[in-house]
C-alpha cells in the first residue's frame, strides 16, 4: 500500500491533523488501534472541553464528535482496530501495521504524523513499598472501566498523585457511590488544574494531603490498607506522621508520558524533559517528513490546545508533501532560564519563519506573579505579565516574525516579582 501521509492515532490530535492536511492531491490514511475514533476523549464524560475552540463547554465525547463529523464528511480513509507496530525510514517511511482482519502489512508513506497520545505511569514507575495485592491501578484505567465498560473498580478508594485524571476520578467515583478517603500528593502543591481541585475535591469534601506519599500497602489478595506519611523537602518520609486508611482501591495519578515507543528504532533528537521529540515550529522532528503533535509530543491539560497544535502539524505535513519544503540551516534552539521547565517547539527555523509561532511551556514551580520576557541580540522583544503560575498549567506566548530583530537565537525567561 502506498500513501502520501499516514497519521498514527485517531484521537483529538490525529483528527485535527487530518482535517488540516486534507487536500485533493494528498492521499491520507488515519490508523487507529481502537474500535472507534476519538481517543481518550471517549472516556472523559465530564465537561470542561472546548472553551477555546468552540467558545462553549462540552464533554469529551461531544468535543470528539464535532471533529469526527467534520472528518467523516471529507471521506478521508481510515482503519480502525488496526495498530501500527513499527516505523522505519529509508527514502520514504515504511509503516508496519497489524490488524485482526488483515494481518500484518506494510504501508509506504512520504510523511508520517505521530499522534499516538500518551500512557500513564504505573506502580512500577513510582516506589510504593509493601505487598502487591489487586486493587492498585492507574486512574485513567479506572476511568475507562467505569465510563466505557460500566465497572466501578472499588468501594473505598484512595488516590496517589493529584494529576487531573486522579482529581476527576475522585469526583466520578464519589458520584457513583464509592467513598474516596483522600488524595496524597508528594509535592507541596497540586499537579492538577485549579478548577479541578475546587470542583472535584473541595466540592465533595475530599481531603488533599500535600507533601504526603504512600509508604505502605497491605493486602493478602485484594488491597486492604494503605499508610501515608508526610515528606520533608527531600521527599523523605517524616517519622510519626503516619495516617492509615482501610481501602480496597488505590488509584495512581502520578504522571503521563508521551507514547513514542513506536519510534524507538528511529534515530531522532529527543527532549529529556518532555520525553518526546525535539521539533521545530512545523512540529517536524529531526527526521524530515516526521511530524509529532498532541500528547505524543508533550502532555496537554486542555484538548483545545491539542487541536490547535495538531492543525498546524497537519498543515506542515501538507506543505511538506506538496512543496517538498526542507528545513534550512538557520535553525536555533530556544534558550530558557531555571523558572521554565520546557518549551515546545524547541527549535525555530528562522529562514522559514513566516506565520506566528505558538510557544507552549511550563514553569518549574508555583510562583505568584512576574513577567515572561523573550530576548534576542541582548534586547527584550516580547513581554507578557503572568499571575498564579503553576507547573500544571501550560503557558503560551504567540511569537510573530515582526517582533524579531534578526535571525539570531531567542531566549525566554520568567522573572518572578518578589513581594
Ligand atoms: C482523564 C483525562 C481528563 C481530561 N480532562 C480534560 C478536560 O477536562 N478538558 C480538556 O480540555 N482536556 C482534558 N484532557 C486532555 C485532553 O483530553 C487530551 O490532551 C487530548 O484528548 C489528547 O489527544 P491526543 O489525540 O493527543 O491523544 P489520545 O486521545 O490519547 O489519542 C491517541 C490515539 O492514538 C491511538 N494509538 C496509539 N498508539 C497507536 C498505534 N500504535 N497504532 C494505532 N493507533 C494508536 C490511541 O488508541 C488513541 O486513540 C483530559 C485528558 C485525560 C486523560
Q: What is the mean pLDDT of the chain?
A: 95
Rounded to whole angstroms, the Cα distance separating 99 from 79 reads: 9
pLDDT tens for 72-112 read 999 999 999 999 999 999 899 999 999 999 999 999 999 99
What was the pLDDT predicted at 327?
A: 65
Neighbours of 295 (CB within 10 A): 25
Gap from CA of 13 to ligand 1 centroid (Å) = 8
Band (pLDDT 50/70/90 cuts) for residue 397 is very high
Gap from CA of 128 to ligand 1 centroid (Å) = 27
Band (pLDDT 50/70/90 cuts) for residue 325 is low
pTM of this structure? 0.94
Pick the closest to residue 289 from 322, 329, 330 (CA basis). 322
Q: Can you tell me which atom of ligand 1 is nearest the CA of 169?
A: 1
pLDDT tens for 167-226 read 999 999 999 999 999 999 999 988 888 889 999 999 999 999 999 999 999 999 999 999
What was the pLDDT predicted at 263?
A: 86
Q: Is a pLDDT exceeding 90 seen at residue 273?
A: yes
Angle at 206 between CA 205 and CA 211, to 5 degrees: 130
Q: What string of DSSP letters covers 26-94?
A: --EEEE-SSSSSSGGGGG--SEEE-TTTTSS-EEHHHHHHHHHHHHHHTT-EEESSEEEEEEEESSSEE
Answer yes or no: are the C-beta atoms of 370 and 414 closer than 8 Å.
yes
pLDDT tens for 133-158 read 999 999 999 999 999 999 999 999 99
Pocket test for ligand 1, best of 47, 98, 117 (most atoms within 8 A of CB): 117
Band (pLDDT 50/70/90 cuts) for residue 127 is confident
- Ligand 1, CB within 6 Å, residue ranges: 8-14, 31-34, 39-41, 44, 46, 48-49, 83-84, 115-117, 140, 143, 164-165, 168, 259, 262, 294-296, 300, 302-304, 306
Q: Can you tell me which atom of ligand 1 is nearest the CA of 14?
A: 25
Please identify which residue in the block is written with the cell numbers 488496526: 82
Angle at 218 between CA 217 and CA 223, to 5 degrees: 95
Q: Compute and round to an integer the Cα radius of gyration of the chain.
A: 22
Cell of 256: 503521563
Residues whose CB is less than 8 angstroms from the CB of residue 76 and which lie 6 or more positions away in sequence, other chains included: 18, 22, 28, 30
Gap from CA of 237 to ligand 1 centroid (Å) = 34
Pick the closest to residue 281 from 255, 303, 312, 251 (CA basis). 312
Pocket test for ligand 1, best of 40, 100, 139 (most atoms within 8 A of CB): 40
Q: Is a pLDDT exceeding 80 seen at residue 418?
A: no
What was the pLDDT predicted at 125?
A: 84
Rounded to whole angstroms, the Cα distance separating 369 from 374 reads: 17
Rounded to whole angstroms, the Cα distance separating 419 from 69 reads: 50
pLDDT tens for 399-413 read 999 999 998 999 999
Structure-model confidence comparison of residues 311 and 390, the more confident one: 311
Beta strands per DSSP E along 253-405: 256-258, 270-271, 276-277, 290-292, 331-333, 335-336, 340-344, 347-349, 357-363, 367-376, 379-389, 395-399
Cell of 374: 523573550
What was the pLDDT predicted at 70?
A: 98
pLDDT tens for 10-39 read 999 999 999 999 999 999 999 999 999 999
Amino acid at each position: 500500500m502506498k500513501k502520501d501521509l499516514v497519521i498514527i492515532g485517531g484521537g483529538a490530535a490525529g483528527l485535527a491533523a487530518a482535517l488540516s492536511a486534507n487536500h485533493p492531491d494528498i492521499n491520507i490514511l488515519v490508523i487507529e488501534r481502537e474500535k472507534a475514533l476519538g481517543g481518550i476523549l471517549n472516556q472523559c464524560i465530564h465537561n470542561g472541553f472546548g472553551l477555546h475552540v468552540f467558545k462553549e463547554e462540552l464533554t469529551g465525547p461531544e468535543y470528539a464528535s464535532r471533529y469526527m463529523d467534520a472528518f467523516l464528511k471529507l471521506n478521508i480513509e481510515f482503519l480502525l482496530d488496526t495498530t501500527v507496530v513499527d516505523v522505519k525510514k529509508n527514502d520514504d517511511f515504511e509503516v508496519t501495521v497489524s490488524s485482526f482482519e488483515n494481518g500484518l502489512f506494510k504501508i509506504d508513506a512520504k510523511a508520517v504524523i505521530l499522534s499516538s497520545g500518551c500512557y500513564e505511569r504505573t506502580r512500577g514507575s513510582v516506589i510504593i513499598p509493601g505487598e502487591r495485592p489487586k486493587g492498585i491501578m492507574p486512574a485513567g484505567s479506572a476511568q475507562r472501566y467505569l465510563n466505557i465498560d460500566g465497572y466501578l473498580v472499588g468501594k473505598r478508594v484512595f488516590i496517589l498523585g493529584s494529576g487531573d485524571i486522579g482529581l476527576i476520578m475522585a469526583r466520578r467515583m464519589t458520584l457513583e457511590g464509592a467513598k474516596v478517603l483522600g488524595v496524597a500528593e508528594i509535592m507541596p502543591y497540586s499537579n492538577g488544574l485549579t478548577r479541578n481541585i475546587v470542583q472535584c475535591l473541595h466540592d465533595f469534601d475530599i481531603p488533599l494531603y500535600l507533601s504526603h506519599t504512600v509508604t505502605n500497602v497491605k493486602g493478602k489478595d485484594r488491597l486492604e490498607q494503605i499508610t501515608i506519611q508526610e515528606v520533608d523537602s527531600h521527599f523523605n518520609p517524616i517519622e510519626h506522621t503516619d495516617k492509615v486508611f482501610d481501602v480496597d482501591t488505590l488509584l495512581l495519578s502520578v504522571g503521563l508520558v508521551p507514547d513514542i515507543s513506536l519510534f524507538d528504532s528511529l534515530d531522532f533528537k529527543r527532549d529529556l524533559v518532555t520525553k518526546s521529540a525535539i521539533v521545530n515550529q512545523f512540529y517536524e522532528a529531526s527526521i524530515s517528513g516526521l511530524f509529532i503533535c498532541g500528547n505524543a509530543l508533550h502532555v496537554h491539560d486542555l484538548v483545545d490546545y491539542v487541536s490547535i497544535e495538531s492543525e498546524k502539524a497537519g498543515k506542515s505535513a501538507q506543505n511538506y508533501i506538496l512543496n517538498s519544503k526542507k528545513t534550512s540551516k538557520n535553525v536555533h534552539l530556544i534558550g530558557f532560564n531555571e523558572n521554565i521547565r520546557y518549551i515546545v517547539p524547541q527549535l525555530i527555523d528562522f529562514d522559514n519563519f513566516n506565520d506566528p509561532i505558538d510557544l507552549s511551556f511550563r514553569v518549574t514551580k508555583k510562583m505568584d506573579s512576574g513577567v515572561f520576557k523573550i530576548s534576542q541580540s541582548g534586547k527584550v522583544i516580547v513581554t507578557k505579565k503572568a499571575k498564579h503560575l503553576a507547573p500544571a498549567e501550560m503557558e503560551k506566548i504567540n511569537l510573530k516574525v515582526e517582533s524579531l530583530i534578526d535571525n539570531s537565537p531567542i531566549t525566554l525567561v520568567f522573572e518572578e516579582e518578589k513581594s
